[in-house]
Amino acid sequence: KSIAQAIAAQDRDFIQAEAKAQALAGAHYIDVNAGTFAGEEAVRLRWVIEAVQEVTDLPLSLDSPDPGVIRAMLPLLKKTPIINSINLEKSRLDGILPLVVETKAKVIALCQAADLTPETAGDKLDLAGRLVEKLSGAGVPLDDIYIDPLVFPLSTNPKSASATLAAIG
């Protein structure tokens, strides 16, 4: 919430302090996201990217639900990013996969599909396997794929945490 407020107010000092704090805490990437600004995401994200890259040399995790926004931001980046995220929904897969391949970016693969929200360890493993198959089949090295097994809050799915632990265990 405070980051969204800082982006809305274009509080460069706040955003830069957050990026520096994350870098000092050992982050390998700084996640940049302006997805809450519908209709303004590209403009807001450009501003965030510029602000963050002024204070850290860490690569960025380019985080957007819109493949068009990700494509538009790629030329601004000083280092190869990790793209956050791809899943098995056709529009998302078709929009993100070419960007990952073209830029040789690392990618966060979210265990989600249009026809399946992973409730069980088996669902999570099935989706992870399908994602890895699609990505590696397109030439993405296994070392560049990071699986997000989707952990739901306990209030919405009390079994999600144990299913996730079983899937990664």
Decide: 55 and 19 in contact? Cβ < 8 Å.
yes
Distance CA 95, CA 14 (A): 32
Mean pLDDT of 12-25: 98
- Residue 169 is predicted with a pLDDT of 87
Distance CA 155, CA 107 (A): 29
pLDDT of 107 higher than 90: yes
Model confidence at 116, in pLDDT bands (50, 70, 90)?
A: confident
pLDDT of 117 higher than 90: no
- Residue 154 is predicted with a pLDDT of 86
- Residue 82 is predicted with a pLDDT of 98
β-pairing verdict for 145-148 and 82-86: unpaired
CA torsion angle 107 111 116 119 (round to 10): -170
pTM score, whole prediction: 0.93
pLDDT of 27 higher than 90: yes
